[in-house]
A and B are shown apart, each in its own frame.
Chain A
Amino acid sequence: MRLSGARVFLLWLLAMLVGAAIVWQSRFSADMSFFLPARPTAEQQVLVDQLKEGAVARLLMIAIAGGDAEQRAALSRDLRRRLVAGPDFLSIQNGEAGSQDADRDFLLRHRYLLSPAISPERFTVDGLRAAIGDSIDRLASPVGMMLKNLLPRDPTGELVALLGTLGGGNEPASRAGVWASRDGERAMLLVQTAVLGSDTDGQQAAIERIRREFAASSGGDPAFTLQLSGPGLFAVNSRAIIVSEVTRLSLISACAIIAVLLFVYRSPRLLGLGLLPVVSGALAGIVAVSLAFGTVFGITVGFGAALIGESVDYAIYYFVQSGRSGVDAWRQRFWPTVRLGVLTSVVGFGVLLFSGFPGLAQLGLYALTGVVTAALVTRFVLPKLSADEYPMRDLRPLGVRLQAVIERLHVLRWPVILLALAAAALLISERGALWNPSLSALSPVSAADSDVDMALRADLGAPDSRYLVLVNGIDQESTLQAAEAVGRHLDGLVAAGQIAGYDSPARFLPSQSSQSARQAYLPEADEVRQRLAEALQDSPLAASKLEPFLADLAVARQQAPLSRADLDGTHLGLAVDALLLHGRQGWSALLPLRPTASDIEAGQLRQALAGSGALFIDMKTEFNQLYNDYLQEAMLLSLSGLGAVLVLLGATLRSPRRLAAVMLPLLLAVIIVIAGLYLAGERLHLLHLIGMLLIVAVGSNYALFFDRAEENHGLDPETLASMLIATVTTSIGFGTLALSEVPILHAVGVTVGPGAFLALLLAAIFVPRGTVR
Chain B
Amino acid sequence: MNKQILFGLLLAALTLPASAAFDIGQLMTGLAAHKGGRAKFVEKKYISLLDKPVVATGEMSYSAPDRLEKRTLTPKPETLVLDKDKVSIEREQQKLTISLANQPEALAFVDSIRGTLSGNRAALEKNYALHLSGTEEKWVLTMLPSDQRISAVILRIVVTGSRNQVLGIEYLQADGDRSVLTIEPITGK
List chain B residues, Cβ under 8 A from A68.
none
Measured CB to CB, the closest approach of chain A to B121, in angstroms, equals 21
B101 touches A177 (CB 8 A): yes
List chain A residues, Cβ under 8 A from B95.
169
- Which among B50, B106, B109 has the greatest number of chain A C-beta atoms within 10 A? B50
- One of B43, B50, B53, B94 near A169 (C-beta < 8 A): B94
Give Cα distance in the complex from A630 to B43, angstroms.
64
| A4 adjacent to chain B (CB < 8 Å) | no
User: Which 6 residue pairs are nearest across A and B when measured between Cβ atoms?
Assistant: A174-B99, A174-B101, A140-B56, A540-B52, A540-B50, A137-B75
| A97 adjacent to chain B (CB < 8 Å) | yes
Contact of A141 with B76 at beta-carbon distance under 8 Å, contacts A95-B102, A173-B86 already known: yes
Give Cα distance in the complex from A175 to B85, angstroms.
8
Identity of the chain B residue whose Cβ is nearest the Cβ of A143 in the assembled complex: B89
Measured CB to CB, the closest approach of chain B to A425, in angstroms, equals 57
List chain A residues, Cβ under 8 A from B53.
540
B99 touches A173 (CB 8 A): yes
| A49 adjacent to chain B (CB < 8 Å) | no
B96 touches A174 (CB 8 A): no
Can you list, as one digit per residue, whether each of B65-100 has a CB less than 8 Å from chain A (1) or not (0)?
A: 000000010011010100001110101001111111
From residue 154 to 177 of chain A, which have CB atoms closer than 8 A to chain B? 164, 169-177
A541 touches B101 (CB 8 A): no
- One of A134, A145, A151, A175 near B101 (C-beta < 8 A): A175
Contact of A142 with B177 at beta-carbon distance under 8 Å, contacts A151-B49, A171-B97, A175-B101 already known: no
Give Cα distance in the complex from A176 to B99, angstroms.
11
List chain A residues, Cβ under 8 A from B94.
164, 169
| B134 adjacent to chain A (CB < 8 Å) | no
List chain B residues, Cβ under 8 A from A152.
49
- Which among B54, B76, B101 has the greatest number of chain A C-beta atoms within 10 A? B101
Measured CB to CB, the closest approach of chain B to A167, in angstroms, equals 10
Give Cα distance in the complex from A538 to B152, angstroms.
33
B54 touches A136 (CB 8 A): yes
| A602 adjacent to chain B (CB < 8 Å) | no
B97 touches A139 (CB 8 A): no
User: With contacts defined as CB atoms under 8 Å apart, how many contacts are there between chain A and chain B in the complex?
Assistant: 89
List chain B residues, Cβ under 8 A from A179.
99
List chain B residues, Cβ under 8 A from A139.
45, 47, 50, 54
Give Cα distance in the complex from A179 to B98, angstroms.
12
| A606 adjacent to chain B (CB < 8 Å) | no
| B51 adjacent to chain A (CB < 8 Å) | yes
Contact of A141 with B80 at beta-carbon distance under 8 Å, contacts A173-B85, A540-B51, A541-B51 already known: yes
Measured CB to CB, the closest approach of chain A to B55, in angstroms, equals 7
A541 touches B102 (CB 8 A): no
List chain B residues, Cβ under 8 A from A178.
101
List chain B residues, Cβ under 8 A from A557.
none
Contact of A169 with B99 at beta-carbon distance under 8 Å, contacts A138-B76, A140-B72 already known: no
| A447 adjacent to chain B (CB < 8 Å) | no
Identity of the chain A residue whose Cβ is nearest the Cβ of B56 in the assembled complex: A140
Identity of the chain A residue whose Cβ is nearest the Cβ of B89 in the assembled complex: A143
| B125 adjacent to chain A (CB < 8 Å) | no
Identity of the chain B residue whose Cβ is nearest the Cβ of A184 in the assembled complex: B85
Measured CB to CB, the closest approach of chain B to A681, in angstroms, equals 43
List chain A residues, Cβ under 8 A from B104.
97
Give Cα distance in the complex from A175 to B76, angstroms.
32
Identity of the chain A residue whose Cβ is nearest the Cβ of B109 in the assembled complex: A142
Measured CB to CB, the closest approach of chain A to B74, in angstroms, equals 9
| B4 adjacent to chain A (CB < 8 Å) | no
List chain A residues, Cβ under 8 A from B50.
136, 139, 540-541
A141 touches B91 (CB 8 A): yes
A142 touches B101 (CB 8 A): no
Give Cα distance in the complex from A617 to B72, angstroms.
40
| A146 adjacent to chain B (CB < 8 Å) | yes
Measured CB to CB, the closest approach of chain A to B145, in angstroms, equals 16
Identity of the chain A residue whose Cβ is nearest the Cβ of B44 in the assembled complex: A140
| B103 adjacent to chain A (CB < 8 Å) | yes
Identity of the chain B residue whose Cβ is nearest the Cβ of A149 in the assembled complex: B175
A170 touches B97 (CB 8 A): yes
| A216 adjacent to chain B (CB < 8 Å) | no
Q: A141-B91, A145-B105, A146-B105 are in contact. List 6 more A-B contacts (CB 8 A).
A: A95-B102, A140-B55, A141-B76, A141-B89, A143-B91, A143-B96
Identity of the chain A residue whose Cβ is nearest the Cβ of B76 in the assembled complex: A137
B105 touches A140 (CB 8 A): no
Contact of A542 with B51 at beta-carbon distance under 8 Å, contacts A97-B104, A141-B91, A142-B89 already known: yes
Give Cα distance in the complex from A173 to B86, angstroms.
7
- In the assembled complex, 6 residue pairs joining A and B whose CB atoms fall closer than 8 Å, in A order, are A139-B50, A141-B80, A174-B99, A176-B101, A178-B101, A545-B49
A140 touches B54 (CB 8 A): yes
Give Cα distance in the complex from A100 to B99, angstroms.
13
A169 touches B52 (CB 8 A): no
Identity of the chain A residue whose Cβ is nearest the Cβ of B105 in the assembled complex: A146
Give Cα distance in the complex from A171 to B91, angstroms.
17
A169 touches B96 (CB 8 A): yes
Contact of A141 with B85 at beta-carbon distance under 8 Å, contacts A169-B94, A542-B51 already known: no
A169 touches B97 (CB 8 A): yes
A140 touches B43 (CB 8 A): yes
B99 touches A172 (CB 8 A): yes
